[in-house]
Amino acid sequence: MSDMVLVTGISGFIGGHTAAELLRRGYAVRGSVRSPSRSGEVHAAMAAAGVDTAEFEICRLDLLSDQGWAEAVDGCRYVLHVASPFVLAKPKDPDELIRPAVEGAIRAVGAALDAGVERVVMTSALATMQFARAPRGHVYTDADWTDPDDPRLNAYTVSKVKAERAARELVQQRGVPDWLAVINPGAVIGPLLTNDPGTSVTAIQQIMSGALPMIPDLRLPWVDVRDVADAHIAAMTFASAAGRRTIVATDPMSLIEVAGVIRERLPEVSRKVPARAMPTWFTRLASVFEPQLRDNRWLIGQKQRFDRTTAETLLGHPLRPIPDAIERTGRSLAERRLI
């Protein structure tokens, strides 16, 4: 009988790819969704990935409810806690994001501890490191922590920091700090399994659809979703991941560079791609009025650097080239008529 892995948030971009890769490698997968109405979408995603679903099942879990967690982890050898709330629009109350992220992490880790699974791998975010106060030229590592009390942070970043810290505190209280592994991805892009483009893919969708007359000077640490999925699976068993935070992200590429890749590699669907870049000073000015820019103002004109050595050691190979990931993302969007 195959080892069973619980993957929370399986209807999401990372969760779907991770579940599909687990099935390819011969694991049995139990995936959680918040709403049963999404079960059909998840099965369609697995079909799109071309995997055998004979050992695949779906359960219902809510980050804000205790119901079903004990049953979900029963019989599992590993737990991948991928689920986390995310909304594009700024919530009226930050706790709309923070509370389910923190409580969900505690429920997932607590249930897995109680069930005696071998390891939990938790999806966090590079945001828990990249907004730490640091001097110019600093290379961010897993030792860096974003301060959740910094008033400039948006609710999403605060939710990620507090959820990761809550999970770490719980395993430390139980005396098993090395039992938890954390994956900290950057802006995740790559081939789509459903028509839900995901948060980071939306940036490429906006570029390709002509929604941006000029491209703001934002520089994002992109990563291919397939590398993120592979890192989660490797972290289940590799001793080097035990108790570690693993940055899975490249050094940032600007949105105007992304647009250039799309025009070069996908000329047939690049008619609406803007050619003009918004100057850094104007991007900063626009961030006063535009919520999405305001929430990402720390990324305006920035050239951050990240130590991805741990990820590439874990994977056993360099991260996939970002131009290739951009091309695959763009082709998926075009094939699904999402631009």
Cα–Cα distance, 205 to 13 (Å, whole number): 15
Query: CA separation (Å) from 195 to 120, 267, 303?
Result: 29, 22, 32
Query: CA separation (Å) from 156 to 67, 116, 161, 181, 249?
Result: 25, 31, 9, 21, 18
Phi, psi of 222 (to 5 degrees): -70, 160
Q: Is 174 helix (H, G, I), strand (E, B) or coil?
A: coil
Cα–Cα distance, 222 to 200 (Å, whole number): 9
Which residues, at least 6 apart from 56, have a Cβ–Cβ distance to it below 8 Å? Answer: 19, 23, 28, 29, 30, 31, 46
Contact 273, 339 (CB under 8 A): no
Residue with tokens 């059909």: 40
Which residues, at least 6 apart from 92, have a Cβ–Cβ distance to it below 8 Å? Answer: none
Write out the catalytic residue numbers: 160
